[in-house]
Structure 1
Amino acid sequence: MDARALRNPYHDYDGNPACAQAFFDSHGRITAEFAQRLSSKISELLAVLENGLRRADPGDATVYTGWAGIALLYLHLHDVFKEESFLHKALDYVSRSLRCLTRRHDVTFLCGDAGPLAVAAVVYSRMQRAQEASDCISRLAQYHKVVVDGSSGLPDELLYGRVGYLYALVFVNQQLGADRIPGQFIQQISETVLASGELLSRKFRVQNQSPLMFEWYQEQYVGAAHGLAGIYYFLMQPGFVPAVEHVHRLVKPSVDHVCRLKLPSGNYPPCIGDERDLLVHWCHGSPGVIYMLLQAHKAFGVPQYLEEALQCGEVVWKWGLLKKGYGLCHGAAGNAYAFLALFRQTQDPKHLFRACMFADWCMNYGKHGCRTPDTPFSLFEGNMSKDQESAQYTSWGLEEETYCTGEETGHRPAGERVKIELICPGERPLGHQRHFGSRCSHKFQTEVSELLTC
């Protein structure tokens, strides 16, 4: 981990509110001065972004590295700052995205056609273009049949699998109301994922250790992007699995199995069987596993899950400023979201302070000697990640819980509105290439140099 991280230059929170008074008050509200710094940096980076987008891939529709991700950024900025110009920018970019949908089997929010359709539905709705919003939702819903088909060969993970499509549906309901996508759609997908996990667990004969098991390209991933943590996070959401007994009998012991995979440092391996302690990213490692642990604490009320999440936070604080840069998937901005999640659940100002320190580090964009990603003007790899993160901090002082990771302990009925924080950012896969840092094989030949090097 030391070889891939930069030294954290900040003093940690010492329990004295005075050390945080430049960033937030005693109620956890961001100060006007810090909010202004964030807003100024957003404006500065947006100008850089718009200039850089002239060289962007015109055919990339995705949320992860393409036009839909830019649209999602501007949609979020509109939600925070209420400036109509941001909404018009979102419309411009999501329109570009809709013109270059792949119409292939990629049906997820981050890396497939479902993401652009979901973002477009929300943008059109915000602009009072109800028919176009409805058309996008109808097109999005058409993928449901293939997603719930257990024989379709579709994986279950977040970037390219069923859970990635599930999030697209959840995003629409989050933004537009719980009745836009029928609750049974979400439940049917969740049940299909459970059945897939049970089947693979029996195949590997690990039912006694983990009633569920998942793989992607013959690897049992652990983290949020392709792995167990990302899948279990969604299966523990209130009402997604209609039978609460299944959550307790199947999901809980499977979460416990992930906890047993923890490395001596407190970090988590990228894949089962790979004991190298290298990656502290949202996609692989503690920054993504945190969300599963926090949701398990909400769902089951077991204090140990919160303790495990807090240990993940220590890993992120020590090794989370990455040489890879600022991205959401494998960068400092994505890692900062882990602290925000911890703060929401614990209300301990230490975590908000740490998040602010990571934000301060990111505001010195380009001054740390980090690598330049292959897609530097994208939502999940580039400086747009910093804009998204800065807007998130700014919104802390403007609106309550812009993102909310769940409800009280227990499971709510389907159809009731549930806000979910996408444990997002994802990693661009590689076509049957080996990511030597994590022993993970990948799907399409893209962004090779970004992922194969530190």
Structure 2
Amino acid sequence: MGFKLPKRETMDVLNMYKPRFINNPDLPQDYLSFREKSEVRVQEALIHIIGETHPREHYTQDECRGFFRGPTALAYLLLRIHAIYPEIKIRGESPQYWASSYLSAKRTGGNSASCGLACESAAYYAVEAMLDETKAPRFRDELGKIVEEEEHPYEILFGLTGLLYMIRAVEFFKPETASLLITLKARIVDKTLAAGPAWTFRGKRYIGAVHGDVGILTQLLLTDPSLATNSIVRKSLQRQLQLQHESGNWPTRDPTPEFDRVYLELVQFCHGAPGFVLSLLHLEQMLPDMKEQIGNAIMLGRKCIWQEGLLKKEPCLCHGILGNSL
């Protein structure tokens, strides 16, 4: 008798080889251009968000995940939208008003994540500084404590380069804080470069925008454009470009003898072409001598997103079609 997999494992193997996307036979030019004023749709979405997740007096530890989800994430979203559409009102109030409302709620239980974009305390103090530059020293001190800890990875969601994003976000809203944060930025950049270029997350060599190399490189260069001549940065990026598959997609992590086919089929912001394309659009501007090579990778990646990005799973930003639509 031949070996038989248990029923559940058999289904897992079969599902692995099923397409994760809905076939998209159309071409981009077959679609009508968007003519409605974008701020109208944005306002409608914000009214819905405020109605469904109205600011509360109290949030639990599990509900507070920094910029990833929860009240602080909503506060940051509202501030970013206010910067783009300052005239928008939600129930008669500005997005900045609602951001302050989410920020004023009590939070209990400490951090669910100790570093990165998902770190609640770092994100909270970041948004606080965006609203009031006199609070920036508290943001700096909180990040300073985190940077001194040794156990953190370097990717953006749970790692040190996520803190670089937060610093740049604070500087965007309050440019006068830049001199206060310059030493902290340099410490994070130096620590990240010293650990590279073989950065790992949970023991694995991821390469994508959220947990991997291209996300780390993007945050490093956006923080310090002079790193465009750094040999570690350039060699690492060259390697990422070489890992692009002929389909236009990138693998989830470094190829190994045990590499599973499923890891070549993820077309998401977190893993695959969508996150790479968004990252490379930034990197292309800072590396003019690599513009043609990066541009070709972007073009091939966009074809992959168009053909395989209409995902069957739920429409989330990180692993779903909303992220791909960006």
TM-score range with shorter-chain normalisation? Answer: 0.7 to 0.9
Contact 1:107 1:113 (C-alpha < 8 Å) held by counterparts: no
Q: 1:314 aligns with which of 303, 310, 318?
A: 303
CA displacement, residues 182-225 of structure 1 (integer Å, 9 cap, x when unaligned): 3232122111100011xxxxxxxxxxxxxx11001110001111
How far apart are 1:106 and its partner, in Å? 1.1
1:223 aligns with 2:208: yes
CA displacement, residues 27-68 of structure 1 (integer Å, 9 cap, x when unaligned): xxxx4x3537624642563365337x88x9643222212111
Amino acid corresponding to residue 113 of structure 1 in structure 2: S
Query: Counterpart of 1:119 in 2: which secondary structure?
Result: helix
Structure 2 partner of 1:85: 94
Does the C-alpha gap of structure 1 residues 280 and 105 become closer, same or farther in structure 2, counting only changes over 3 Å? closer
Structure 1 partner of 2:114: 106
Structure 2 partner of 1:173: 171
How far apart are 1:101 and its partner, in Å? 6.6
Whole-Å Cα distance in 1 between the matches of residues 145 and 50 of structure 2?
41
Whole-Å Cα distance in 1 between the matches of residues 82 and 191 of structure 2?
36
Whole-Å Cα distance in 1 between the matches of residues 161 and 169 of structure 2?
12
Q: 1:266 aligns with which of 248, 258, 268?
A: 248
TM-score, structure 1 as length reference: 0.58
Structure 1 segment 22-41 matched on structure 2, within 5 A:
22-23=33-34, 31=35, 33-35=36-38, 38-39=41-42, 41=44
Whole-Å Cα distance in 1 between the matches of residues 206 and 266 of structure 2?
13
How far apart are 1:178 and its partner, in Å? 5.2
Amino acid corresponding to residue 73 of structure 2 in structure 1: G
Contact 1:61 1:113 (C-alpha < 8 Å) held by counterparts: no
The structure that has the greater radius of gyration is 2
Structure 2 partner of 1:213: 198
Does the C-alpha gap of structure 1 residues 275 and 298 become closer, same or farther in structure 2, counting only changes over 3 Å? farther
Contact 1:101 1:113 (C-alpha < 8 Å) held by counterparts: no
Query: Counterpart of 2:103 in 1: which secondary structure?
Result: helix
Count of residue correspondences: 294
1:71 aligns with 2:82: no
How far apart are 1:88 and its partner, in Å? 1.8
Structure 2 partner of 1:297: 284
Structure 1 partner of 2:237: 255
Contact 2:111 2:119 (C-alpha < 8 Å) held by counterparts: no
Whole-Å Cα distance in 2 between the matches of residues 145 and 282 of structure 1?
29
Does the C-alpha gap of structure 1 residues 44 and 290 become closer, same or farther in structure 2, counting only changes over 3 Å? same
> For the aligned residues, what is the CA RMSD?
2.9
Structure 1 partner of 2:13: none
Structure 1 segment 318-397 matched on structure 2, within 5 A:
318-337=307-326
How far apart are 1:320 and its partner, in Å? 1.6
Query: Counterpart of 2:177 in 1: which secondary structure?
Result: coil
Structure 2, gaps ≥5 residues long: 1-16
Whole-Å Cα distance in 1 between the matches of residues 37 and 23 of structure 2?
23
Query: Counterpart of 1:314 in 2: which secondary structure?
Result: helix
Amino acid corresponding to residue 203 of structure 2 in structure 1: Q
Contact 1:157 1:226 (C-alpha < 8 Å) held by counterparts: yes
Does the C-alpha gap of structure 1 residues 70 and 10 become closer, same or farther in structure 2, counting only changes over 3 Å? farther
Whole-Å Cα distance in 2 between the matches of residues 165 and 334 of structure 1?
21
Higher RCO (CA < 8 A, seq sep 6+): 1
Does the C-alpha gap of structure 1 residues 108 and 134 become closer, same or farther in structure 2, counting only changes over 3 Å? farther
Whole-Å Cα distance in 1 between the matches of residues 305 and 210 of structure 2?
17
Structure 1, gaps ≥5 residues long: 24-30, 126-132, 198-211, 338-454
TM-score, structure 2 as length reference: 0.79
Amino acid corresponding to residue 328 of structure 1 in structure 2: L
